Amino acid sequence: MSDKLKHIEELAALFNQPGDSTPFGIDAQAIEPMMQKIVEEQIKYKPICAVNHWVIWRVDEADDLIVLKGDVLFHSLGHREPGNWVRTSPLISFRYNCVFETKNTVYLMVGPGTMKDVPARSVLAFL
């Protein structure tokens, strides 16, 4: 098997195989109250994107956390369509076990999700 084919198979496995379950995420009924809390905390200058079926990637060699796969429920500015998936930039802050803030966006992690360790070289394929 060629190195390129092996790398593609590794990427497919990282993208599709589940990670370890986490205690993070909120119920869908809590989206509105959490959005109000975010606005009250002065994060209102950033758009909010709610995602479910999310996976947090812990990037080795970089000490970064990235939500790689999240199915969009809604985006406050309409930049993402419901049902699309999203990959974030690295985490800046994390609060309430469901608010994942990056440089440009606040992600609201809805429902259960997973976390997995990934090699930095594999993450680069999704940038």
Neighbours of 13 (CB within 10 A): 10
Tokens of 33: 């109250």
pLDDT of residue 72: 94
Whether the predicted model's global pTM rises above the 0.85 cut: no
Every domain of the chain and the residues it spans: 3-124
State the pairing for strand pair 85-86/64-75: antiparallel
- Plot region of 51 (φ>0 → left; ψ -120 to 50 → alpha; else → beta): beta
pLDDT in tens, 16-58: 777 899 999 999 999 999 988 887 876 668 899 999 999 888 8
What is the pLDDT at residue 125? 65
pLDDT tens, 73-111?
999 888 888 988 888 888 899 999 999 999 989 999 999
Q: Which helix (H) or strand (E) holds 31?
A: helix 31-40
Considering only residues 60 and 76, tell me which one the structure prediction assigns the higher pLDDT. Answer: 76
